[in-house]
């Protein structure tokens, strides 16, 4: 029996990318950001020594890429503006060359009937501001809001959907807890201050936008449901605390305008509350988001700790739970991530039941696979595994929508294979493969499938 998965009229079909991962930092005039600096100082930390200089060359090939987006059924596309390209020193003078570039990209998208979703920050702090402390420094909040206001003024006549941050927890975790990204700090106190200042910057940008413009502004969060090993109270508590740290720490202030009381009490108990000012509370409360982007890749499975943490070790979220490897889980062996399609449904139901059913969409979902050349047949990568991955998630998203969830679209990460932070091109995610020597783009099988799905606004099977 055939089942139809038809999506609501006006559903957003598209994909997402970031400036640092696609533009190529050697292209055009651009100030140095933390990735440029880190690659210059520690290239050994990057897969095969490949840094952000030579990426997918979107800077020079955006017209070709946007034409391909149109052919692939896109009616929307999320890009990011590189702060250090638009304002090379982080503050002060605007780079007219960057203004011209982003104007061309935005105009080209609109000419192809693709709505530009523009994100202001995707892990790319200008180095001049990082040298002043980055998000640890409260002055950087003002610099960010000024940058956001500049972007709104330059592009807000055409861009009606904005996002302040993509996955703001990643710089916190990777940069200040786990030594995965620059500045390679392992200090929960500093991490928590960075997280707090990031949300103040977010609220400041939301306030500035609503004061002068009538579009929508939101934030993009990587929500990773925390599933307990069992229904034992200790496992349930472990999953609740994991959820507090990794989801609600940004979700609650963004959507509700306040932090969870349980998280505040926990940080207070361990002496890790951030430094705040009295006026912060009203800023957060009065400037909640219009729209929520949800990046979903994998679940988080946890259990109660088997052993007490070393009291002399750095304070970490993992003091409160252990990872749990569920037997029989479905894995993507290339990325080391579990594939659990129902997670997308669980997130949407949570947003419906606990967050006012806020307007949302899947802003990233995707499958990274290594050595995709293995799957070439007659010149095309036959990525049926990616099609099945997308289908599986869309089925659960469809179910959530049928139950009243306010989900408006689905964006794949990503449109074409791009440079991935420390992993370079190790795993490929795109609808289009990119030849690293020639930069030639070649459509994969998933591109054709997505084009047909977008055209029909759904699929059957």
Tell me the mean pLDDT in the region 242-262: 98
Tell me the mean pLDDT in the region 106-129: 98
Cα Rg of the chain, angstroms: 21
Q: CB atoms < 10 A from the CB of 279, how many?
A: 9
**For residue 191, what pLDDT is reported?**
98
Q: What is the CATH number of the domain that holds 453?
A: 3.20.20.80
CA atoms within 13 A on the CB side of 457: 9
The domain total for the chain is 1
How much of the chain exceeds pLDDT 70, in percent? 100
**For residue 336, what pLDDT is reported?**
81
Of residues 167, 341, 364, 372, which has the active-site annotation?
A: 364
Confidence of residue 317 (pLDDT cuts 50, 70, 90): very high
- 0.75 exceeded by pTM: yes
Is 364 a catalytic site residue?
Answer: yes
**For residue 333, what pLDDT is reported?**
83
- Long-range contacts for 171-176 (Cβ within 8 Å, ≥24 apart)? 171/123, 171/125, 171/135, 171/198, 172/198
Tell me the mean pLDDT in the region 169-176: 98
In this predicted model, what pLDDT tens digit does every residue of 283-293 receive, in sequence order?
999 999 999 99
Tell me the mean pLDDT in the region 16-44: 97
Q: Rounded to 5 degrees, what angle do the CA atoms 382, 64, 422 make?
A: 65
**For residue 334, what pLDDT is reported?**
81
**For residue 435, what pLDDT is reported?**
94
Confidence of residue 281 (pLDDT cuts 50, 70, 90): very high
In this predicted model, what pLDDT tens digit does every residue of 33-57 receive, in sequence order?
999 999 999 999 999 999 998 899 9
Tell me the mean pLDDT in the region 337-348: 97
**For residue 1, what pLDDT is reported?**
86
In this predicted model, what pLDDT tens digit does every residue of 385-403 receive, in sequence order?
999 999 999 999 999 999 9
- Answer whether residue 335 shows pLDDT above 80: no
**For residue 305, what pLDDT is reported?**
98
Q: Which domain holds residue 330?
A: 4-460
**For residue 74, what pLDDT is reported?**
98
Burial (CB count within 10 angstroms: exposed 0-12, middle 13-18, buried 19+), residue 36: buried
In this predicted model, what pLDDT tens digit does every residue of 374-387 receive, in sequence order?
999 999 999 999 99
User: Could you tell me which residues are beta bridge partners of residue 116?
Assistant: 77
Average pLDDT value over all residues in the chain = 97
- Answer whether residue 443 shows pLDDT above 90: yes
Q: Are 386 and 428 in contact (CB under 8 A)?
A: no
**For residue 54, what pLDDT is reported?**
81
- Answer whether residue 342 shows pLDDT above 80: yes
Confidence of residue 442 (pLDDT cuts 50, 70, 90): very high
- Answer whether residue 113 shows pLDDT above 90: yes
């Amino acid at each position: 029996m055939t089942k139809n998965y038809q999506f609501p009229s006006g559903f957003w079909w598209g994909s997402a990318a970031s400036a640092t991962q696609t533009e190529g930092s050697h292209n055009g005039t651009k100030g140095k950001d933390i990735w440029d600096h880190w690659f210059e100082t520690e290239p050994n930390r990057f897969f095969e020594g490949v840094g952000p200089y030579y990426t997918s060359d979107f800077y020079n090939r955006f017209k070709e890429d946007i034409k391909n987006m149109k052919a692939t059924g896109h009616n929307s596309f999320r890009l990011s503006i590189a702060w250090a390209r638009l304002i090379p020193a982080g503050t002060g003078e605007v780079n007219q060359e960057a203004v011209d570039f982003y104007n061309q990209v935005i105009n080209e998208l609109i000419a192809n009937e693709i709505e530009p979703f523009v994100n202001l920050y995707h892990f790319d702090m200008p180095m001049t501001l990082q040298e002043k402390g980055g998000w640890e420094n409260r002055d950087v909040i003002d610099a960010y809001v000024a940058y956001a206001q500049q972007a709104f003024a330059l592009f807000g006549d055409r861009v009606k959907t904005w996002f302040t941050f993509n996955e703001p927890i990643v710089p916190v975790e990777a940069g200040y807890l786990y030594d995965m990204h620059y500045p390679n700090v392992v200090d929960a106190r500093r991490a928590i201050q960075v997280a707090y200042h990031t949300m103040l910057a977010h609220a400041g940008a939301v306030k500035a936008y609503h004061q002068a413009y009538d579009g929508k502004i939101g934030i993009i969060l990587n929500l990773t449901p925390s599933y307990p090993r069992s229904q034992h109270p200790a496992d349930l508590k472990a999953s609740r605390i994991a959820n507090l740290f990794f989801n609600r720490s940004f979700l609650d202030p963004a959507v509700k305008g306040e932090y969870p009381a349980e998280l505040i009490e926990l940080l207070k108990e361990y002496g890790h509350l951030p430094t705040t000012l009295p006026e912060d509370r009203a800023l957060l409360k009065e400037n909640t988001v219009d729209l929520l982007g949800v990046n979903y890749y994998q679940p988080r499975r946890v259990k109660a700790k088997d052993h007490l943490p070393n009291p002399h070790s750095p304070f970490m979220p993992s003091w409160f739970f252990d990872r749990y490897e569920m037997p029989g889980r479905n894995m993507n062996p290339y990325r080391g991530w579990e594939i659990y399609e129902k997670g997308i449904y669980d997130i949407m139901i949570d947003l419906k039941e606990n967050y006012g059913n806020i307007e949302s969409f899947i802003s990233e979902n995707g499958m990274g696979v290594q050595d995709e050349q293995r799957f070439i047949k007659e010149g095309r990568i036959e990525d049926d595994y990616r099609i099945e991955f997308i289908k599986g998630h869309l089925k659960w998203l469809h179910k959530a929508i049928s139950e009243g969830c306010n989900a408006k679209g689905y964006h794949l990460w990503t449109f074409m294979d791009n440079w991935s932070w420390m992993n370079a091109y190790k795993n490929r995610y795109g609808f289009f493969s990119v030849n690293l020597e020639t930069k030639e783009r070649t459509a994969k099988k998933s591109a054709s499938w997505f084009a047909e799905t977008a055209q029909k606004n759904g699929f059957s099977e």
